[in-house]
Amino acid sequence: MAREFFGTDGIRGRVGEYPMTAQVVMKLGWAAGKVLASKGNREVLIGKDTRVSGYLFESALEAGLASAGINSRMLGPMPTPAVAYLTSTFRAAAGIVISASHNPFYDNGLKFFSTEGSKLPDDIELEIEAMMREEMTTVDSKDLGRARRVDDAAGRYIEFCKSTFPSSLRLDGMKIVVDSANGAAYQVARQVFDELGAQVVSVGADPNGMNINKDCGATAPDNLRAHVLLERADVGIALDGDGDRIIMVDHRGEIVDGDEILYVLAKARHTEGTLKGGVVGTLMSNLALEHAMNDLNIPFERASVGDRYVMELLRARGWELGGENSGHVICLDRVTTGDAIVAALAVLAVMRSTGDSLSRLRADMQLYPQVLVNVPSAKKVDLESNDQIQQAVKNAESELGDSGRILLRPSGTEPLVRVMVEGKVANDVEQICHSVAKVVGEALG
């Protein structure tokens, strides 16, 4: 069945425009409630980030769930991974996060988690889609759902995060800048690192409903870089608006992305003999990561772009470590989804146990230059069957050899084809990318 609402990461859109209206969200709450009630469990957790529209959709969602006979436990502002964790510990039927992640404040969305704390299975999403086509009804008054606040949600999550850090280690003497993107982790992130002994400089922790992700957080790491250098901190940690992405900055002010974080964690686990299987990246993971894993004899595989697909491949292989260069880092031995705070603690544990700076830990893997060109797509073209495009790709691959790669990928959200080229020589990469992009542009009209 064709999906109308659920994408690769839930439902997302501009506030006030379909599907992110109060009416549609209320019916989504009802549809999800009807499907979940049929499974027997009538408890759902609701968390949100700091967008001003969170109040609107929180009320609409709770009303829809109540009309289907589902009880809601309201968590308030809470990182996405916290909702996933708490859904599991409460044995709830589902957890719902009201968030548009790294998007601007005028967007919002819904993410659903299963009772195990992982993304909602496809068959449940399809059942909800089908229920949206039915007329909305209300259960008898005696069966209506109720809502109540979970007062200790933040404390529960903070203690969980701390439990993932080795009990033999502390962060005493370490100065850390934490940029919470004025988002869902603005309260809990600082407390986690502070309670483990670090001196914490907190930025991006003054949300006003409209400044989430604005010139701060994981999508704007220059803010973190400036504060790390100003404070002469040992390391900087930037989260995105819902707390599932992480970008770091070393003491020299150099940005450390998701690929480099994966390298640091994989190498440390490999050295300790604790790495289970291999590492999963995505089609966008830098080629340097793949080469570094090969040098260490660590299996490496690429999933489609999206943490959902990274998770699926990890589970299929029985591995535990994967992620995206954008900052989704998944440690399946500790969490059920991408968790920026837990990933940061994993890196800090390596720094503490080895005595090395983040700069030293990531020094042996130098990212290859990467150029990305977005080509507007006036019409839909089968990239695989277009002779001009395929010849351009073959020519590029021949020129790059084993030291580079090219990727053409239609955007899932915009009328664009993304042309990405990476390799060891920056000038060659840029020239090849624009050459291929020109051919793609001509083919797309």
Q: What are the catalytic residues?
A: 101
How many CB atoms are located within 10 Å of the residue 335 CB? 22
Whether the CB-CB separation of 211 and 223 falls below 8 Å is answered with: no
Give the integer Cα–Cα distance in Å for 11 and 373.
27
According to DSSP, the residues that pair with 178 across neighbouring strands are 202, 237
Query: 321: closest CA among 267, 242, 243, 358?
Result: 267
Structure tokens at 77: 């502002």
Structure tokens at 40: 């027997």
Cis bond before residue 299 (omega within 30° of 0): no
Give me Rg for the CA atoms of the chain.
Answer: 22
Whether the CB-CB separation of 233 and 176 falls below 8 Å is answered with: yes
| Tokens 């006979």 belong to residue | 69
Number of helices (H) and strands (E) in the chain: give both, helices first: 14, 18
Distances (CA, A) of 196 to 164, 203, 240, 355, 444: 11, 18, 22, 17, 54
